[in-house]
Structure 1
Amino acid sequence: MKKRSINIWMTLVIVMCVAVLAGCGHKPSETTGIPDKIIIGMDDNFPPMGFRDDQGQLVGFDIDVAKEASKRLGIPVEFQSIDWDSKEAALKSGQVDVLWNGLTITPERQKVIAFSKPYMKNDQLLVVRSDSPIHDKQDFSGKCIGTQEGSSSIDALNRHKDFQRSLKDVKKYGDYVNAFMDLEVGRIDGVLVDSVVGRYYMEKKPGKFKVVDKSLGEETFGIGMRKEDKPLQDKMNKVMAELSRDGTLSALSKKWLGDDITMKIQ
């Protein structure tokens, strides 16, 4: 191999290594057990919890809460968009330190993830177009619905096998926004969606959609961490309790959701 080729090859290896390291979470301190910087894994198309505005900036309820928690912890945070369908793998591998973006606490996830105390309520909504002849869950027999791959909506479907079997098809999307776009143009008959996302999207498109059912599950959101990161979990619980007691969570909920749907944290 010529010297020039060797140099080029070595340069590429270095660049790749730097890129990999840049995307990794920080190792916990040997003294505190907490990293000196927290990499937050998120889906950047999950309004109003975390998404990009018209200028491409990350905004949303969870973004604001994480920034406030960062100030009180005295630890900087960095937001990293990940494939939400592979979020558990990103956390376990150390690519990110926490999962914080409308993450539903489920028994399945609790087997592999340590959660903070729950901080927000959530439901699963069945949404259709406002002119749809569908009026309830039973009317979906033989119909096609859309939902987000890797979301708690999939878990809700798996818990309601009779309803799942009654459907003609379940189309899975990378995010709910694209599911709503297909619903609006008639490619699917309905969307099964987290209530915080569904209601936010419906407010942005007044008169376009209606909720026909919300019986598929009541849920709560939490911050996901590795099971071995107990010191970080304890710190997060403490600072989230402070944000709950002083009204910060309530104020941010009203800002992004129009109402306080947060939970009291002790």
Structure 2
Amino acid sequence: MKKIVAVICGLVVCLSMASAKKKSSGKFVLGLDDSFPPLGFRDKNNEIVGYDIDLAREVASRLGLELVCQPIDWSTKEMELNTGKIDCIWNGLTLTEERKRAMACSEPYLANAQVVVVRNNGEIKSLSDLKGKKIGVQAGSSAQEAIDGAPDFKKSLKEIVEFKENVTALNDLEFGNLDGVVMDLVVAGYSITQGKKPLVILDETLAPEEYGIAFSRKNKSLRDKVQKTLLEMQADGTVAKISTKWFGSDISTIGK
């Protein structure tokens, strides 16, 4: 009996140590779509970089944590968060009332809008010109939600093709397989400029929006720590420096 008790006690100690080790792992696991420039993407060396990554790395450093960038399937991002595989979703996540109810979201840190990208041949100049046309959209994205939120526009389209990421959709548009791509303004502008693509963004927007960071509702304390750190970074000029690096000016909305 004493041996059995000793074994049980040993197991309890081991489990406790494992649990403590997990809690003190010192890692901040960020879930992202790693093909979403300029917020989070892979550079020529296959390293994950971007505006959101720079912000998160500085936040993690100030909190004494190691940033771990974990690529995920964007269409299952909420599940990845709720199962504890990631600590947050930080990669151009549009704040919606539904997401605010389902997750513990930060305050907005960047303004954005859902827009339509078309070829620059001048054939399509407005949303109405897309009647009977085929457009692409990233599955599970706020762009898809923006289309659903504009029923007249959606009904006018011939076909909506879903893609895993925007990069492939833009390539198909450039090759003539699509007539337009609905996506985030911030990402569209960067992709067109950096890739020198023969594409333009229509002036009409489908929906204005704001980006935020999502955490599990069970982990509001981490959300609050990150939010507090971002405000400190905004106050000391760190956010402005990072924003200028990626966008040429400070376009952050933190604390504004």
Relative distance call for 1:150 and 1:166 in structure 2 (3 A) is same
Going by fraction, where is strand more abundant, 1 or 2?
A: 2
1:243 to 227, 230, 233: 233
Q: Which residue of 2 aligns with 1:201?
A: 191
Deviation for aligned residue 1:252:
1.3
Q: 1:82 aligned to 2:64?
A: no
CA contact (8 A) 2:138 2:144 kept: yes
1:2-41 matched pairs, under 5 angstroms: 36-41=26-31
- Secondary structure of the residue aligned to 1:188 is coil
Letter in 2 for 1:137: L
Query: How many corresponding residue pairs?
Result: 236
Indicate the percent of aligned positions where both proteins have the same amino acid: 42
CA contact (8 A) 1:122 1:196 kept: yes
Relative distance call for 1:158 and 1:27 in structure 2 (3 A) is farther
Q: 1:157 aligned to 2:147?
A: yes
Relative distance call for 1:40 and 1:176 in structure 2 (3 A) is same
2:211 to 202, 221, 226: 221
Q: 1:182 aligned to 2:172?
A: yes
1:259 to 235, 240, 249: 249
Q: Residues 197-249 of structure 1: CA distance to partner in whole angstroms, max 9, x if unpaired?
A: 10001102436111113421111111110112121111011001111112222
- Secondary structure of the residue aligned to 1:224 is strand
Hey, what's the Cα distance between the residues in 1 that align with 2:238 and 2:185?
21
Deviation for aligned residue 1:27:
6.1
- Secondary structure of the residue aligned to 1:215 is strand
TM score, norm. by length of structure 2: 0.88
1:64 to 41, 50, 54: 54
1:100-179 matched pairs, under 5 angstroms: 100-179=90-169
Relative distance call for 1:214 and 1:246 in structure 2 (3 A) is farther
Q: 1:96 aligned to 2:71?
A: no
Structure 2 unaligned spans of 5+: 1-20
Hey, what's the Cα distance between the residues in 1 that align with 2:23 and 2:226?
14
- Secondary structure of the residue aligned to 2:205 is coil
Structure 1 unaligned spans of 5+: 1-25, 30-34
Relative distance call for 1:81 and 1:205 in structure 2 (3 A) is closer
